[in-house]
Each structure stands twice: as C-alpha cells, then as structure tokens.
Structure 1
C-alpha cells in the first residue's frame, strides 16, 4: 500500500456506514484513480470502524488532510493497521457481474484470490460471481480477495453485500 495515507476516525460503528462514508468522502474530495479507501476495525474501550485513505502523492495527501480537518473529522497520519478492508481501490468499478478470477486480477488492484478452506489457488478461468460487492483485505502488502465455493463450480466473495444479522431469528 502507498505510504501517502491518513486515518479518519468518524466514530462510525458498522461496516455498511463506513463504506457509505468512504464513498461520500471520495466523491466530495474528488479523489483520483489510484486512491485506496479502507476500513479498519478498532477494538478496545471504544469499538468502532476507522477509515483510511491512501492517495498517489504527498501534495494530494496534504490537501485531503486539510479538507477533512476543515470538516471537523479527526485525522491522523498513516493507517491504523496493515490489514485494511478495501472499499475503494483501482479497478473496483470494473468488478461487476460474473468474471473469471483472471479478469478480477487483470482489471483491479487485487493481486491474489484465495478460496476459504483451500490451500490451492483457484484456476484463472474459474467464474467469480461478484454480486457487485468485492471487498479484499490487505495481507502482507498484497490486496487479497477471499472467496467461497458456490453453485456450479463458481466462487463468490466471502463478504456478502447484505449479511444476515447475527441472531436474526430471535
């Protein structure tokens, strides 16, 4: 991940709200291609979801930091951790519908696809049903998408767009 990064702590409590805020900030700040926007789970006394923005240049980082501070967002240099969940990243808008694993790797900043419970990499021609919701994670400096097996030899991203809340039937 680029070193031109900052953390925004907006006291967001859930991932869906954090995703929405990242998209809102990216639009309002008119962030360029090459920007990464990630969520980070913060544990401890005040559990919450922090945001990080990584931009292509130091001058842009300074501008973004000033504009966020002017909006009363709590901003700090760097990222909270190296394990961010990417929401905004190069190529994310091209990851719609069903694509092959090779297409996902060619069209986006994702560098690897893994399959939950499998030590082997999926074949490049394996179909991946994106559900228009692809949230890879940073792992050892790589943007990695974790997928799960689905019907008919396809894969789906591990994170689903509309998760069922825990204990929904209680």
Structure 2
C-alpha cells in the first residue's frame, strides 16, 4: 500500500465497539470522506479511563490537513466536531506533531494516529473494498477485492489456503499487524472459516 496520511480523533468513547463503529462511520459521512479512506478504531490504555479512539487515513497530505481543519474549525461558537455531531462533543485531534483539544483526548488521538501511521495497531472498519466483503468468499477472492493483505487462522501457523471459503457474516474487521492489514479467522462449520470478531459483540467482549 502506498503512503497514507493519518488524522487521529478521540471523543473519549467508552461504549461497545459497535457504537465506536457507528461513530466512525457517521463522522466519515459528515466529513464527506471518499471510498478510499481507511478508518480504524484503537484501544487507548494510557492515562485516564481505557477507551476507544479513531483514526482516518487518506492518500494525500492535502486531504489530511483539510480533514484536520474541518474537525477543529470553530462554528457558531462550537468546535467543528460539535457541529458535525450535534453539539456537546469534546474531542482531541492529531496530525503528525500537531495536537488539538483537551490534553487527555489530544494524547489519545495522537496514540491512534501513531499506531495507524506505523501500521502496528488499529482495527479497520472502513477500508477499500470493505463493502464487497459479504456472504461467502474464498480467501483468494477476499484478498483480491479488498485492502486486506493476509488471513491468519487461529491454531494454524501456515495461514489460510487461497481456496478455503470464508463466511463473512457481513462483518470483516482486519487489524494492522507488523505493517500489514490482517484478518484473524477461526475454523467454522463444514470446513469453512469465519472472522474471529462476531458482528455484535456484547459490551464485555467489546472492551478487548
């Protein structure tokens, strides 16, 4: 994958991952982000309460700076994100060495941006080809259609054979691992595979 420019965003979200997914998608729509955006959630553990931050990667520095300006620009006495999300929102924003917002949230945004930039962490919700990953696909087809670069199988160090079928459950959340976007899968009925993350995790599971 070519170089991407990453903006971190932290609203201090402490709810379930499915709620963080909804927030990320809502922001992407309101910000007018295109299909080539790569949006991730990140677990923040440093300082304060553990919570989930977000990151958006776009393919140009100009787009990244425009995104940062939109998130931080004042609007009718409120921050840009207040306007986008309906008011009452405190958030941190980070791009490179630039930080905006309350210290803890700015630090969380910087953490998310750094993980995504280094490609060492981040659970991808929006990524090129994600909308095509529905129904049952072979591993080879999944890799062909999307930005996912590898499918790792629990208990199988050799990984997934290209012809093996994967039941997507319309919920495919790969993660950045050592520079690659990797989907973790587990064996399922009939010799198929399924993504390790289930579509609607309970709140206790969503924290892990």
How does the TM-score come out when normalised to structure 2? 0.76
Q: Deviations over 1:34-64 (max 9, x none)?
A: 2110000001322100000000111111111
Partner of residue 24 from structure 1, selected from 23, 26, 33: 26
Native 8 Å contact 1:7 1:75 kept in 2: yes
RMSD: 1.6
Distance 2:114 2:62 in 1: 21
Change (3 A) 1:51 1:166: closer
Matching of residue 151 in structure 1 with residue 189 in structure 2: yes
**Aligned partner of residue 83 in structure 1, secondary structure:** coil
Change (3 A) 1:11 1:166: closer
Partner of 1:5: 6
Partner of 1:105: 143
Native 8 Å contact 2:18 2:201 kept in 1: no
- Cα distance, 1:164 vs. partner? 4.1
Q: Which moved more, 1:2-11 or 1:125-134?
A: 2-11
Partner of 1:76: 94
Distance 2:203 2:55 in 1: 25
Instruction: Give the structure with the higher percent helix.
Output: 2
Partner of 1:47: 50
Distance 1:3 1:152 in 2: 39
Native 8 Å contact 1:40 1:80 kept in 2: no
- Cα distance, 1:123 vs. partner? 1.2
Matching of residue 59 in structure 1 with residue 77 in structure 2: no
Show structure 1 runs of 5+ residues with no match: none
How does the TM-score come out when normalised to structure 1? 0.92
Change (3 A) 1:166 1:6: closer
Aligned length: 167
